[in-house]
């Protein structure tokens, strides 16, 4: 069985909204990351991935993204606790709101960064850099 996780590469003003994960997070604590979270069990639910991602973005950083989420990439990994995760990345377009670390137990800080700032940042793990490169190729 897999945990299903969704993340959003959110574009605003030709930059990316990136978070620094809380150091308390079990997986990738203190690293830069896209915004997202685990899919909850909801029974029969259409567009569960998209609904989850939009909810997580609002809960974690207080913004809304447009409905035209675009599938980018999927991968799987194993957490430090040995949990198997399927991770699905979407390209998202900012719609409204002022971003901030709304859930400090999950997000330490929120940044608006250019692609080069992410690719050259030592706090950005290789998987984030790969996601941003993929997102750049698929821009709206």
7-43 pLDDT, tens per residue? 999 999 999 999 998 877 766 677 899 999 999 887 7
Q: How far apart are CA 4 and CA 1, in angstroms?
A: 9
Q: What percent of the chain has pLDDT over 70?
A: 96
The predicted pLDDT at position 120 comes to 97
Confidence of residue 79 (pLDDT cuts 50, 70, 90): confident
Q: How confident is residue 45, by pLDDT bands cut at 50, 70 and 90?
A: confident
Mean pLDDT of 94-116: 95
> The CATH number of the domain where 84 resides is what?
3.90.79.10
Structural contact between residues 73 and 131, judged by C-beta atoms closer than 8 angstroms: yes
The number of domains in the chain is: 1
Give the mean pLDDT of 100-114.
Answer: 94
Can you tell me the mean pLDDT for 50-70? 97
Using the CB atoms, write b or e for 73-86: b if 16+ within 10 Å.
beeeeeeeeeeeee
Distance separating alpha carbons of residues 3 and 19, to the nearest angstrom: 21
Q: Around 86, how many Cα atoms within 13 Å sit in the side-chain half-sphere?
A: 7
Which domain does 89 fall in, by range? Answer: 3-137
């Amino acid at each position: 069985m897999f945990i299903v996780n969704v993340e959003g590469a959110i574009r605003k003003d030709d930059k990316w909204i990136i978070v620094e994960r809380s150091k308390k997070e079990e997986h990738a604590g203190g690293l830069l990351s896209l915004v997202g979270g685990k899919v909850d069990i909801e029974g029969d639910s259409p567009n569960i991935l998209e609904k989850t991602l939009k909810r997580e973005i609002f809960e974690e950083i207080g913004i809304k993204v447009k409905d035209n989420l675009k599938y980018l990439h999927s991968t799987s990994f194993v957490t430090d606790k040995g949990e198997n995760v399927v991770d699905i990345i979407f390209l998202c377009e900012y719609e409204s709101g002022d971003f901030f670390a709304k859930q400090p137990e999950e997000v330490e800080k929120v940044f608006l960064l250019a692609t080069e700032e992410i690719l050259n940042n030592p706090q950005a793990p290789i998987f984030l850099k790969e996601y941003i490169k993929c997102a750049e190729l698929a821009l709206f």
